[in-house]
Amino acid sequence: MTNIGIIGLGTIGSGVVSILKNNSELIEKRTGIALNIKKVCNLHKDKAESLGLIEKHTTDYKEIINDKDIDIVIELVGGYEPARTIIEEALKSKKHVVTANKAVIAKHGNELFKTAEENNVSLLFEAAVGGCVPIIKSLKQSFASERIKSIYGILNGTTNYILTRMKEGMSYEDALKKAQELGFAEPDPTFDVEGLDASQKLAILSSLAFNHKINDKIHTEGISKLSKLDIKYANELGYEIKLLAIGKKLNGEIELRVHPTMISKSHELCSVINEFNAIYINGENITDNMLYGKGAGQLPTATVIIGDIIDIANNNKILNNSFNDITIKDINSIESRYYLRLKVPDVPGVLAKFSKVLGDNNISISGVQQKELEKEIVPIVILTHKAIEKDINKAIKEIEELDIVKEKPILIRIEDM
């Protein structure tokens, strides 16, 4: 029998308890493993009481860490502290740890993996990225022999839901409100809509895909500045806009970024709608693969956590990665195509002015469209050929200073995948 200690009985912790209670016979029948909840820790005993675990309840997490009969600690506190301390102390006490905490892995993963290795125990975190999408296990096991070239991830269900609604005609504000009503978005949605959640997940994924030390210094932009006009114009041009987490390895460098991205409507990632997540992987031998599923939710996430528990209990010890140092490419040196939207007066000579600025900064235009007629101020949409990020940023600053530009330009990168 494998004894488990659960620290944190919130939504996910309650889901883990529920599945273990309801499916323990199924788990043992399929795996031969009997899992037993030995002790649970939560600040308030009423949660443990509602789950029928009052006799196993404690408010002191150290009771779980110091219990010699407990084999695996499940950390579901969330955030940086005390989660990092809990994980570190558990590992040093020779206990395996399973967590769904993307924040602590993205920030402190390197040191925690080292601690796990020094104490000959496992630190597993499948549920930290992609909910029930088995991307961590795929990278560490199924694709262990593969040289990954690139990963493109829709890693945040809130932003994907909002973009789905905007595609249907909703404004950003109305789509966000709907997401909050349905529980997909928090009352303060900043962490999701500004891309921070996706950025933490990319930090973890890229380290596994490209075997480098986790680096959470990632260029990150969210969707809060997007207009439904941009969604509409992208659609007319044959694209959709997704908040993509992008990782690429080329010539010994890693390119990491999170931002709204225009991709061809024919690409598989455009079929990923609402709160679903997907990770699209390109490798040397596997070519293209996409993993898809629920990105969050109590029971999907709890199911994946229990999968990690079973791996450990089955003595299927997954090595804690020994990562390499590698150069993360500066965002200013990346090369991309760009969508640029300007609002300008409908008068002669306007096109020549901003075309000159772009040309002076080594940016070639592939197409220009004026989107409205018979108005004094009209939107102009520009598509560029490939250009260097620092050049487009310099050009935008110069364009902003032109007296013909009536609003701050909107810039969206285009990925030809």
> Residue 410 sits in a domain of what CATH number?
3.30.70.260
User: Could you say which of 110, 128, 146 is where a domain stops?
Assistant: 128
Residue with the two structure tokens 């229990």? 306
Angstrom distance (rounded) from CA 149 to CA 250: 8
Whether 399 is in a domain gets the answer yes
The whole-number pLDDT of residue 217 equals 87
Q: Indicate the pTM of the whole model.
A: 0.90
Same domain, yes or no: 244 and 382: no
Token pair in block for residue 166: 């905007």
Same domain, yes or no: 272 and 359: no
Q: Can you list the alpha helix ranges (DSSP code H) found in 43-171?
A: 45-50, 62-65, 83-92, 102-118, 135-137, 157-167
Residues 6+ apart with CB under 8 A from 231: 163, 166, 167, 240, 241
Whether 320 is in a domain gets the answer no
Residue-wise pLDDT tens digits, 285-327: 999 999 998 877 788 889 999 999 999 998 755 555 556 777 8
More confident of the two residues 148 and 320 = 148
User: Could you say which of 128, 150, 166 is where a domain stops?
Assistant: 128
Same domain, yes or no: 122 and 23: yes
Whether 328 is in a domain gets the answer no
Same domain, yes or no: 165 and 286: yes
Residues with catalytic roles: 201
Token pair in block for residue 311: 């791996």
Residue 414: strand, helix, or coil:
strand
The whole-number pLDDT of residue 131 equals 80
Same domain, yes or no: 116 and 50: yes
Residues 6+ apart with CB under 8 A from 356: none
Number of domains in the chain: 3
Residue-wise pLDDT tens digits, 76-97: 998 999 999 999 999 999 999 9
Q: Can you list the alpha helix ranges (DSSP code H) found in 278-388?
A: 298-313, 350-360
Residue-wise pLDDT tens digits, 199-258: 999 999 999 999 888 888 899 999 999 999 999 999 999 999 999 999 999 888 899 999
Q: Using an 8 Å Cβ cutoff, are 114 and 123 in contact?
A: no
Residue 38 vs residues 53, 66, 164, 316: alpha-carbon distances, Å? 10, 12, 43, 22
Residue-wise pLDDT tens digits, 348-398: 888 899 999 999 999 999 999 887 766 788 899 999 999 999 999 999 999
Residue 47 vs residues 55, 62, 298: alpha-carbon distances, Å? 12, 19, 15
Residue-wise pLDDT tens digits, 388-400: 999 999 999 999 9
Same domain, yes or no: 54 and 141: no
Same domain, yes or no: 98 and 146: no
Look up the domain containing 191 and give its range: 135-295
Q: Please provide the average confidence, as pLDDT, over all residues in the chain.
A: 92
- Phi, psi of 123, deg, nearest 5: -120, 110
Angstrom distance (rounded) from CA 267 to CA 269: 6
